[in-house]
């Protein structure tokens, strides 16, 4: 698309009409794009895919931007608090085990020194 030119927005009704006409008259993507003054044949191809997969309802779905499913679900406050408590407990346990390992290693090193 040339620089500075705005994207055209097509109504769901027009998209349905384009695809149904294309299928009834057995037009190619290029012919359909020319007849309905659509920007390119790839747009028509995309519309046909949506039509075949989702039907007419697929054209009423907003497809721009991020999908809502990309966001992690919100956690309830009590679940958040439980998770925070668990993380703190595990960190304390991890610190304890590190110190214990250090003490055991130090005792073994001292025992080797004595021999």
Tell me the pLDDT tens digit for each residue of 52-67.
Answer: 999 989 888 887 776 6
Q: So what's the pLDDT on residue 91?
A: 98
Question: 48 in a domain, yes or no?
Answer: yes
Do 57 and 79 sit in the same domain of this protein?
no
Do 52 and 87 sit in the same domain of this protein?
no
Q: Is the pLDDT of residue 83 over 90?
A: yes
- More confident: 115 or 44: 44
Do 78 and 52 sit in the same domain of this protein?
no
Output the CA angle 52-21-45, nearest 5 degrees.
45
Q: So what's the pLDDT on residue 2?
A: 56
Do 58 and 83 sit in the same domain of this protein?
no
Question: 22 in a domain, yes or no?
Answer: yes
Question: 32 in a domain, yes or no?
Answer: yes
Do 82 and 105 sit in the same domain of this protein?
yes
What pTM does this model have? 0.53
d(CA 27, CA 32): 6
Domain enclosing residue 101, as ranges:
74-114
Output the CA angle 63-12-10, nearest 5 degrees.
80
d(CA 23, CA 94): 65
Q: Coil, strand or helix: which one is 85?
A: helix
Do 50 and 20 sit in the same domain of this protein?
yes
Query: In the chain, how many domains are there?
Result: 2
């Amino acid at each position: 698309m040339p620089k500075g030119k705005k994207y055209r927005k097509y109504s769901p009704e027009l998209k349905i009409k384009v695809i149904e006409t294309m299928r009834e008259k057995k037009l190619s993507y290029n012919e359909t794009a020319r007849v309905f003054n659509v920007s390119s044949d790839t747009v028509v191809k995309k519309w046909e895919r949506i039509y075949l997969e989702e039907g007419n309802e697929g054209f009423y779905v907003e497809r721009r931007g991020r999908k809502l499913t990309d966001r992690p679900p919100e956690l309830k406050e009590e679940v958040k608090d439980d998770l925070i408590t668990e993380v703190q407990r595990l960190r304390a346990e991890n610190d304890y085990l590190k110190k214990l390992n250090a003490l055991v290693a130090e005792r073994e090193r001292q025992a080797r020194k004595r021999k």
